[in-house]
Amino acid sequence: MKGQQVTSPDESAPETAVSEVSLTRDAHTAALFDAMASGHLPVAVCRDCEHVTAATTLRCPACTGDDLRLTPSTGRGAVASWSTTHDRAGAVRTSPGIVELDEGAFVFGALTDPALRRVGARVQVAFRTSAEGEHYPVFVPEPLSTKEVRS
């Protein structure tokens, strides 16, 4: 199975080229991958103290409770940090980012546009699929219409 399609909760998100990567789920992330396959990026919410954190988290970092529920996020947020890795000739190899979703959770994802290499840049999630057919998040510029609504 070779998944090369990009799915996005927002039709205006640009399609981006996909390189074939290997990625599979494990027991701890099955629900997260199911959610991403259905087209949304979840966050984890602690049922005990309502703290919102990353969907990959196993225990609430605020109260250590283990009753976390996944709930859909807006898929929008701002770059909390970014980097680019380079080959020996200096060309950009990868462009990873940490995105702070508007709900507060951090998500790792590739930044697909050089304009996003700035802390605070507004982004929106898009999904790519791995060689094994699993969806994973990347980040694209937040569509203008959304920004206008926000301002």
Query: Minimum Å distance from CB 105 to other proteins?
Result: 5
Return the structure tokens found at 150: 């926000």
User: Of 2 and 11, which CB lies nearer to other proteins in the complex structure?
Assistant: 2
User: Of 129 and 145, which CB lies nearer to other proteins in the complex structure?
Assistant: 129
Q: Quote the CA–CA distance of 59 and 53 in Å, as a whole number.
A: 10
Length of the chain in terms of residues written: 151
Contact by Cβ (8 Å): 37, 9: no
The footprint of other proteins on residues 50-109 (CB under 8 A) is 51-54, 56-57, 61-62, 80-86, 88, 90, 93-98, 100, 104-106, 108-109
Query: Minimum Å distance from CB 114 to other proteins?
Result: 11
Side-chain-facing half-sphere of 63: CA atoms under 13 Å: 12
Contact by Cβ (8 Å): 115, 4: no
- Residues in touch with other proteins (CB under 8 A): 21-26, 28-29, 51-54, 56-57, 61-62, 80-86, 88, 90, 93-98, 100, 104-106, 108-110, 117, 119-120, 130, 136-138
